[in-house]
Amino acid sequence: MYRCEATSIEGFIQQIAVSFVLHGYRYFVVGRIPEGRDPKAVDAALIARYGLDISKWTRARRRKAGVASVQYLRHGRLFVLIATEGEHRFLERERVRDIREKPLVCFGYRISCYQRPTGRWHPSVQIAPRRFAILQRWFRRHALRQDETSLGRKLKSLPFAPFAAIVRQSVSLLGVVNRRRKRAGLPLVRGDQLRRKRRPVRVFPP
């Protein structure tokens, strides 16, 4: 049975970035299931339409033959279909975007893909620009209004998995706070308040 319903946002983002984009999936569409429609019925229809319920060995043979692999993932009412290079009716029917050129933005995250000096493409997961701008304004406004312990807790409890780029964004927010507090002669927020290590999460129900 094809498993497609992620139990959490963090699991959804992890599956897209680590299991799909890292392994060559580039072309995607994002959709939202309207209220009143059964998400599981939509899952079944899309899985059947694009023939997704196949073994990994069949998928590997098709990729060698130049057929694109397609994956489907949903959390709540938001879903993503994403494919590798190759031929597939999904790529013919849908108006797909290339994640190397147009990042995938959902649930406050931004998933993109960059090329390393070795030539290999690698996923990057960040806080989406709009959400990050809101966070910057909040921490700038409250840097002098709250004590360092409260601000540290706020930074530590940011609702984003600490992927590498998100850790750098968190460090940037810490800098926003501490520059203001230093000028005001207030105690600084410690850097060890940040979440820096990400542990893989279970994507699908056990």
Residue 59, pLDDT score: 87
Q: How many other CB atoms are there within 10 angstroms of residue 116's CB atom? A: 8
Report the largest interatomic distance among the alpha carbons of the chain, rounded to a whole angstrom. Answer: 66
Nearest residue to 47 (alpha-carbon basis) of 103, 2, 107, 100: 2
Residue 77, pLDDT score: 97
Residue 206, pLDDT score: 86
Nearest residue to 154 (alpha-carbon basis) of 131, 133, 177: 177
| Residue range 164-190: mean pLDDT, rounded | 97
Q: In what order do the strands lie in the sheet with 78-83?
A: 70-75, 78-83, 27-32, 97-98
Residue 60, pLDDT score: 85
| Residue range 157-181: mean pLDDT, rounded | 97
Residue 1, pLDDT score: 86
| Residue range 126-149: mean pLDDT, rounded | 97
Residue 122, pLDDT score: 94
Nearest residue to 187 (alpha-carbon basis) of 136, 143, 155, 157: 143
**Residue type for 115, please?**
Q
| Residue range 162-184: mean pLDDT, rounded | 97
- pTM comes to 0.93
What are 37-80's pLDDT values in tens digits? 999 999 999 999 999 999 889 988 988 899 999 999 999 999 99
Residue 63, pLDDT score: 86
